[in-house]
Structure 1
Amino acid sequence: MAVYVTSDAHGHVRALDEVLDQISLASDDVLYVLGDLIDRGPDPLGVILLVRSLPQARVLMGNHEQLMLHATAHTGAPRDGEFDLSGLDNITFTDWFDWMNNGGNATATQLCQLREDEYDEVISWASGLPLYDVAVAGGHTFALVHAGIDAGFVSEWREAHPEADPCEPAALLDLLGCQPADVLLWMRDGLAFPTRLVDEGGRGPVVVAGHTPSPLLAGLAGLSEEQCMSSERKGKVVVYGACEATGNRVDRIDIDCAAASGHGMGCVGVLRLDDLACFYADIREGE
């Protein structure tokens, strides 16, 4: 059994399919998909269909799934091939604008092509996606979220549960449940600082997240371009965070390989947690 993680395919179903072919999922493998299946790329519903066809897949919500749900909560299902925006006021239209401004048009266009029952099924499925999960692989425990965690809430949890061991899955699930949804889905602040999950002895779970395209880590986490981009200047999986406070052990892994950027910089990546092996498929020109 192997444990894999991917995130932020953003509608690039061809690249996701290609990288999954590289790993050849076995029936007892697990594939965690950390959200942002939709928006930006050409076939967001194709990504959803592909992921949902995999019995090994466990899917988390991303901020783009949240954007879609907030926007469509005000419009209801499309009628006659389009969403009815006529009843939106200034507040509810902001949710629609936020979705469109973040690449939602590709997803909205495809949703308008569905029958009402098909549309309802997609929205119901997205609504039920969890915000976090825990994986154990290669003798290590991993906290799986879309965007990240707030170290302040980690400290508060540790103070309230001094005897708890966050390496234990049940304890880590409880800790993650204390994180606000907006942190788990949107967080980009504090990426340059320890998560406070890994102690000075180097013991503790590692946070695995997407959301932040790896090239942005140069500014947000103080990494060099060589650390956060491949030699071909493409996005890649980035393992980082080792410092004195973590016993010089890494405490974060970013798996957003910049697929949202499209051809040139973008890839869809998959990380195998058992040995941190990485697999990639480039976004092709025109995708």
Structure 2
Amino acid sequence: MVYVMSDIHGMYDKYIEMMDLIDLKENDSLYVLGDIVDRANGSMKILKDMMKRPNVFGIFGNHELMMADCFNIITQEITNELLDNFDEEALIKLSDWMNNGAFQTIQEFKKLSKEEQKDNIEYLMEFTAYEEVTVNGKDYLLVHAGLGDFSEEKSLDEYDVNDFVWKRPDWDIPYFADSNKFVVVGHTPTLGITGKPEIFYKNNFIAIDCGACFENGMLACLCLDTMEEFYV
């Protein structure tokens, strides 16, 4: 079975409950479409669990990208002297990340040993910008946000990582003419699309960010083999 999940945002208890619910087997695969970190205080525990599972695959979200941009800062003791020695671009990136819920993640990261920090950095840098899978004769593009500046004539290698992690699709305009090609995305909470914390389907888009970190949101997971939806 092939499963997809997205936008866990540090909700460790929900993540563990979901893993128990889907009962991931050794020959199953789970793709996590980014935004594992930030907002809640379980990001490092989620990454630690994912690292132990060879059949769980991480895809970059905008929050992982922001974290990666700040590795050279958060691996050091943050002092006024240190900040004075960083260039303006590095400080802007740190500020942007902090404004997007990084505080809890940084606090967790600083509590790790140097070896654990190194392991987490190396693991995150193994994440991919997108994945492609075929299930039951249907092709699925798995990506965090969408394809910015989309053109069906462009190959996926022609897109920049920012196109994958920031740019939301227009749900009314399908990307591909092929009715058997689907795009699975996170990033955009379905609460903002339909008002409900449920997986959203339209024009071969499948949006699976159901707002796990929000009070009225859910963590969703979808089995691509059966199209069964799971919520916690």
> What TM-score range do you get, normalising by the shorter chain?
over 0.9
Normalised by the size of structure 1, how large is the TM-score? 0.75
User: Alpha-carbon deviation of 1:178?
Assistant: 2.3
Q: What is the correspondence of 1:1-287 to structure 2 with a 5 Å cutoff?
A: 2-73=1-72, 75=73, 77-79=75-77, 84-150=82-148, 152-154=150-152, 156-157=153-154, 175-195=155-175, 197-199=176-178, 202=179, 204-217=180-193, 225=194, 229=196, 235-241=197-203, 251-261=204-214, 263=215, 265-281=216-232
Mapped to 2, the partners of 1:207 and 1:52 lie a distance apart of: 26
**Deviations 1:137-193, CA, capped at 9 Å, x for gaps:** 122110011111246332x23xxxxxxxxxxxxxxxxx3222221110111253332
User: Alpha-carbon deviation of 1:83?
Assistant: 11
Q: Which has the higher contact order (CA 8 A, sep 6+)?
A: 2
Q: SS of 2:213's equivalent? A: helix
Mapped to 1, the partners of 2:156 and 2:29 lie a distance apart of: 20
Q: Give unpaired runs (5+ residues) of structure 1.
A: 158-174, 218-224, 230-234, 242-250, 282-287
Are residues 43 and 82 of structure 1, via their aligned partners in 2, closer, same or farther at CA, if it must alter by over 3 Å?
A: farther
For residue 140 of structure 1, what is the amino acid of its counterpart?
Answer: K
The answer on whether the counterparts of 1:82 and 1:112 sit within 8 Å (CA) in structure 2 is no
For residue 101 of structure 2, what is the amino acid of its counterpart?
Answer: G
The answer on whether the counterparts of 1:13 and 1:47 sit within 8 Å (CA) in structure 2 is yes
Percent identity of equivalent pairs:
29
For residue 198 of structure 1, what is the amino acid of its counterpart?
Answer: A
Mapped to 2, the partners of 1:14 and 1:61 lie a distance apart of: 21
| Structure (1 or 2) with the larger CA radius of gyration | 1
Q: SS of 2:147's equivalent? A: coil
For residue 205 of structure 2, what is the amino acid of its counterpart?
Answer: R
Q: SS of 1:85's equivalent? A: helix
User: Alpha-carbon deviation of 1:80?
Assistant: 8.4
**Deviations 1:37-81, CA, capped at 9 Å, x for gaps:** 1001121101111222222211111110000111223x2513389
Q: SS of 1:152's equivalent? A: coil
The answer on whether the counterparts of 1:4 and 1:271 sit within 8 Å (CA) in structure 2 is yes
- Output the aligned Cα RMSD: 2.1
Mapped to 2, the partners of 1:237 and 1:81 lie a distance apart of: 43
Are residues 81 and 27 of structure 1, via their aligned partners in 2, closer, same or farther at CA, if it must alter by over 3 Å?
A: farther
**Deviations 1:100-150, CA, capped at 9 Å, x for gaps:** 000001110011111222212211221221101111112211001111124
Mapped to 2, the partners of 1:83 and 1:105 lie a distance apart of: 20
User: Please, which moves more after superposition, 40-49 or 121-130?
Assistant: 121-130
Q: Give unpaired runs (5+ residues) of structure 2.
A: none
Q: SS of 1:267's equivalent? A: coil
Paired residue for 1:284? none
Mapped to 1, the partners of 2:207 and 2:74 lie a distance apart of: 35
**Deviations 1:77-100, CA, capped at 9 Å, x for gaps:** 133899943423332211000010
Paired positions, count: 232
Mapped to 2, the partners of 1:20 and 1:130 lie a distance apart of: 21
For residue 24 of structure 2, what is the amino acid of its counterpart?
Answer: L
For residue 168 of structure 2, what is the amino acid of its counterpart?
Answer: R
Paired residue for 1:167? none
Q: SS of 1:65's equivalent? A: helix
